[in-house]
Amino acid sequence: MARLELNGLTKRYGDFYAARNVTLDVAQGEFVVLLGPSGCGKTTTLRMIAGFVEPSEGSVSIGGQRIDRMPPWKRNIGLVFQSYALFPHLTVAQNVAFGLEMRKLPKAEIASRVHEALQLVRLEHLGDRLQRQLSGGQQQRVALARALVFHPDVLLLDEPLSNLDAKLRQEVRVEIRKLQKSLNLTTVMVTHDQEEALTMADRLVVMNEGEVRQVGTQRELYEHPADSFVAGFVGRSSFLDGSLETAERFRSRGGLEIRCRGEETGPAVLSLRPERLTVASANQDGLDNSFPGEVEFVSYLGGLIDIHVRLSGQDLVIAQIPNREDGFQPNVGERVHVGWTAGAASVFAGQGPRDQEM
Amino acid sequence: MGRWLLKGVAGITLLYILLPLIFVTWLSFYRQEIPSFPPEGYSFRWYEAILDNDRMVDGLLLSLQLGVLATAIGLALGVPAALCIARFRFPGREMLNNLLLLPLVVPGVVLGTAIYIFHVETEIATGLPIIGSLLGLVTAHILIVIPWTVRLVTASLAGFDRTLEEAAMNLGANRWITFRRVTLPGILPGVVAGAMFGFVVSFGNLEMSLFLVGPGRTTLPIAILQYLEWKIDPTIAAVSVVQIALIAGAMLLTDRFVKVSRVV
């Protein structure tokens, strides 16, 4: 087990960059999640670490040793595939033993380590089963045992939970995270599910169009997104297009004058987290910003309620308010006032992501 | 009503297919020499007659030997060819694929003539004894086995999940071990079916072999044909039953390992 370093890792197909200049340092025992929409380069990056895709440029090192020119079978990396990729003609125990046999361990040691690994995932009683006799969750655990049994330097997880049903996914998240911590495994997981990423990671890497957009903890990404893509992808945001007239004043396309904390003046996009907005029946004088608007849509989420409010012809925001008995709960068509502090908004230079929510 | 019609048609078709087999089998147990109806009685004498007929026994042995050799080599060539066609994109891939299936389309007589001429020319040019040799016969039979091995292995490769190979390599298996331990077991149904069909095609081939056998080296179908030229006693029926039983046995045996209906 060791530190994993990616340096300027790039994969080019003709003019197309599947991954571009990916640089990342994963500390011993750290759980890093590569997060992004499909086609963002996260899987390509993972496959370059595993050795199935040859990088066009850049390097991959484990424990200071370069491995990017090694074939996959020499890398000592554990990988859990999205489809699990269990060998259908082998039993559970034979599947788990495969990596140890390849390392030419004595038979007795293989047997005891297979048992140990299956105990780790609580499947020691199913060693004689075939893949088709297992449930999805069991297959997933076998795949995990198979990837861990040979003590890999690095563990890679390729959307390991996407084939499980929602309830099981919650449990397995916690289980994988606990296991990873107790074994102190350097781990990289790929997912497009932000909730999964947020619950499991020590650090997240947000990717889009082959490039790393931001690396940071959950809080850093959520509170201080580097750009409007991250703001839209990690958590939800409402985006208002417009321009910064001064560092403190943003004018939206719909003509709203918003107090904020920006930097350079010029075309910009203002992003607002739904839960940082308050909705009231009257003007909210205590806040830096308060605008009247009409409720366009209300979605009831149980503990929370989403309220879509149109502030002008071009400006629409979503506010999320707690569902409380005594709370203010407007209906569609009602006039309300939406307010927020100057520090609640993030301002990015350039255009907003038009394909995002809203 | 519609279901009964379907069953009726299916029954008639089945009967149509099986009728020759039934009659041949029946005939092989007739006691009299001239096959006439009704039979005068039943006996095993024609089966015994096969064993006394050296040409039949030698033919059977040669056909078995030929079938096994041609199938084994046909597999050794067909499996890598199928892998290549299924896995790689290269110019001329489609043409190569068609070329490998071509022996299926060319009539046996044409194939036999062409190969015979090729043998003659080669023998004249090199002085090597090729005409009528076992080697010449085996290489020709490989040609008619290959389309089957290539086709059936390609079909099973199409349904094979390649991430399994990545998983094996990730676990420390190099390309060869990956093929042997993961790919081959995965495509085994296609390999077995390809071998079986290849063997059956080789074992039953008459037209092409006619041009290529040499003196004292006759395959079973040719031995049967030659026997028929001067006699029509039920020995032929008995030989046919043996042949059918051999092939049916091979099919049943393979079906135990691989569901043939899933591959073909």
Contact B166 A81 (CB under 8 A): yes
Q: Per residue in A103-123, pLDDT tens?
A: 999 999 999 999 999 998 889
**Per-residue model confidence (pLDDT) at position A16:** 93
Distance from CA of A210 to the nearest CA of B (A): 23
| B186/A89 Cβ within 8 A | yes
**Cα(A86)–Cα(B203) distance, integer angstroms:** 39
Q: What is the pLDDT of residues B36-80, one digit of tens each?
A: 778 788 888 888 888 888 888 899 999 999 999 999 999 999 999
State the Cα–Cα distance between residues A349 and A341, nearest whole angstrom.
20
* ipTM surpassing 0.90: no
- Which residue from A75, A83, A150 is facing B163, i.e. has the nearest CB? A83
Model pLDDT, residue B257? 67
Nearest Cα residue in chain A from B167? A85
Q: Give residue A325's pLDDT band: very low, low, confident or very high (50, 70, 90).
A: confident
Which tokens sit at B197?
A: 């069909």
Answer whether B168 sits within 8 Å of A98, measured CB to CB: yes
List C-alpha distances in Å: A77 to A2, A81, B181, B187: 11, 12, 20, 27
pLDDT at residue A153 is higher than 70: yes
What is the predicted pLDDT for the residue at A262?
Answer: 80
Token pair in block for residue A40: 């963002």
Chain A residues near any Cβ of chain B (below 8 Å)? 50-52, 71-79, 81, 83, 85-89, 98-99, 102-103, 146, 150
Strand pairing category for A278-280 and A335-340? antiparallel
Type and span of the H or E element at B139: helix B134-158
3-state helix, strand, coil in chain B (%, to 5): 75, 0, 20
- What pTM was computed for the model? 0.81
- Distance, in Å, from the CA atom of B58 to the CA atom of B72, rounded to the nearest integer, reads 21
pLDDT tens, residue by residue, A233-267: 888 889 999 988 888 889 998 888 899 888 888 88
- Residue B260 pLDDT > 80: no
CA-nearest residue of chain A to B187?
A89
Looking at residue A357, what is its pLDDT?
Answer: 42
pLDDT level of residue A355 (50, 70, 90 thresholds): very low
Note the helical H segments in A156-217: 166-183, 194-200
| Alpha-carbon separation of residue A23 from A61, A216, A303, B121 (angstroms) | 11, 13, 40, 66
Structure tokens that stand for A8 in this block? 């300027």
Q: Torsions phi, psi of B32, nearest 5?
A: -75, 160
